[in-house]
A and B are shown apart, each in its own frame.
Chain A
């Protein structure tokens, strides 16, 4: 069977009985068995529970079709959950040896909602341990490889989510985006990577990295699918007090799109620059207005991000004391240790004001830059990553160069704004490159609309890697 790349395609085929839920799941499980030895995108595959659910949904389809598609709007969808999402009774490792034998007693709100809406969980995706990384190389369950070229990284930290969906092991994947961990791997694997406004989707049951920056994100083939899934996921959850119900979206015929001059400076790869410029030109040709804007504090974003993030990491990882959860603290890997120590340092007496408090103030400046920009424009268009996918091993010995991979994405997390990465072309080595749209807080539907305009006429997302 030809594997579907969108929700509408899978549901059309289920409705006209071209295939069943069981057919889909069996095909995916066969693919995973055959190809994932090479890519290592999945830590735990769930064949029994996936097949059981598929049987159950096929019976429901027979009994109550087409009503069932109203009750379960995501029926037919298959998902890989980043291994940071707690799933009841299914091993949840966070990519770390500390949690190698951890089986949660409850499911995250996101996993629960998706199950109720008809989604079948195929497996748990590999990731950089504790979501610390931009390449997938920090996983303690082995490196994930990019399905477009196995010499290259798939990006991270939602590495397995991106590689798995790109290799068609599931229709979509969940991820977490704290500094770019959904958008950058999506860009590296030719997928749509969506990061909502801070507080739009519940994080209950998702292993925390940096609580003032963490968001739940999605990796899909199309912008339309991200929008459909987001619609089901957003909303109140009394278990997550950061949730805000708001929609500031304004869908227009013509958008005013800001191009931040600080994002197109030295350090940006030439091929990435020309692909992103081509995407901007497309909008201009369609009658949208491009205007240069300034986000003057951009150059301080990574410093600010690494201070705040590591401070919150040191606090969040303190709960893994070897008593309540999993293994002892000596099991922490190198990157987690580095971040815990850096975080402890910036919070310690005598350094708190100089580092942590200072970063919290610069965060205000970065946020204000965006607020000012959104007074003039509807959205901002930029690169996702300064480079195309890089080679495995290229940045592992130099953490700072790895941290700089987040230079165009971390600002959105500091300001709490939504952003989406969309496939926009390929380099001369046939490696995917995406561009990013960022909007004001709670303007997700504006971004989806603009992203959809691009995908309707630029079909890069329909190209799959040859495995």
Chain B
């Protein structure tokens, strides 16, 4: 049976910023172990040649090429930087 140790559970509680008393911790340890044992049966599936699915309707990220715009500036600073108005006083 898959198990989550006490220190592992404390770390998960800390990461997820939750608050559990001792009784709740014991209860969650037992119930999570049962669930983990069940979901471990995924190991049976051969996925060596399978790519993962994170989006099901074929939507893809949309990118465009950067456009290079030359900025007209009369006083370049040290040839490399441009002078811009100050942000902070």
Hey, which bits of chain A sit against chain B, CB under 8 A? 197-199, 212, 241-242, 244, 297, 299-300, 302-304, 306-307, 314, 318, 321, 329-330, 332, 334, 337-338, 340-342, 344-345, 348, 355, 357-365, 367, 399-400, 403, 414-416, 441
Contacts and interface: CB of A to CB of B under 8 A. Distances in A.
Contact of B42 (A300, A338, A364): A300
Contacts of B57: 197-199, 242, 244, 416, 441
Contacts of A367: 53, 56
A304 B55 CA distance: 15
Contact of A337 (B28, B39, B52, B55): B28
13 contacts: A297-B45, A329-B17, A338-B31, A341-B13, A341-B18, A342-B36, A344-B12, A344-B16, A345-B12, A348-B15, A362-B47, A364-B53, A399-B35
A340 B56 CA distance: 24
B32 A212 contact: no
B39 A303 contact: yes
Contacts of B27: 334
Nearest to A303: B39
Contacts of A364: 47, 50-53
A307 B24 contact: no
B41 to A, nearest CB: 6
Contact of B35 (A299, A332, A400): A400
A344 B15 contact: yes
Contacts of B16: 314, 318, 340-341, 344
B47 A361 contact: yes
Interface in B15-62: 15-20, 24, 27-28, 31-32, 34-36, 38-45, 47, 50-59
Given A329-B18, A337-B28, A212 B35 contact: no
Contacts of B9: 341
Contact of A360 (B8, B39, B53): B53
Contacts of B55: 212
A345 B10 CA distance: 11
Contacts of A400: 31, 34-35, 38
Contacts of B39: 303, 306-307, 355, 359
Contacts of A314: 16
A340 B35 contact: no
A318 B18 CA distance: 10
B42 A304 contact: yes
B32 A365 contact: no
Contacts of A303: 38-42
A329 B15 contact: no
B13 to A, nearest CB: 7
- Range for the number of chain B residues in contact with chain A: 35 or more
B56 A337 contact: no
A314 B51 CA distance: 24
Given A242-B57, A307-B39, A342-B35, A362 B15 contact: no
A344 B34 CA distance: 17
A342 B31 CA distance: 10
Given A329-B19, A365-B47, A341 B56 contact: no
Nearest to B20: A337
Contacts of A300: 41-42, 44-45
B72 to A, nearest CB: 34
Nearest to A329: B17
Nearest to B11: A348
A358 B44 CA distance: 11
Contacts of A318: 16
Contacts of B51: 361, 364
A345 B28 contact: no
B42 A341 contact: no
Interface string B61-79: 0000000000000000000
A14 to B, nearest CB: 38
Contacts of B24: 334, 337
Contacts of B53: 360-361, 363-364, 367
A304 B54 CA distance: 12
A318 B17 CA distance: 9
A342 B32 contact: yes
A318 B56 CA distance: 24
Contacts of A338: 28, 31-32
Nearest to A416: B56
Contacts of A341: 9, 12-13, 16, 18, 28, 32
A198 B56 contact: yes
A4 B3 CA distance: 54
Contacts of B40: 303
**Top 10 closest pairs, chain A to chain B, by CB:** A416-B56, A360-B52, A361-B47, A303-B39, A330-B19, A364-B53, A363-B53, A361-B50, A344-B16, A340-B16
A389 to B, nearest CB: 24
A361 B50 CA distance: 6
A89 B13 CA distance: 34
A294 to B, nearest CB: 15
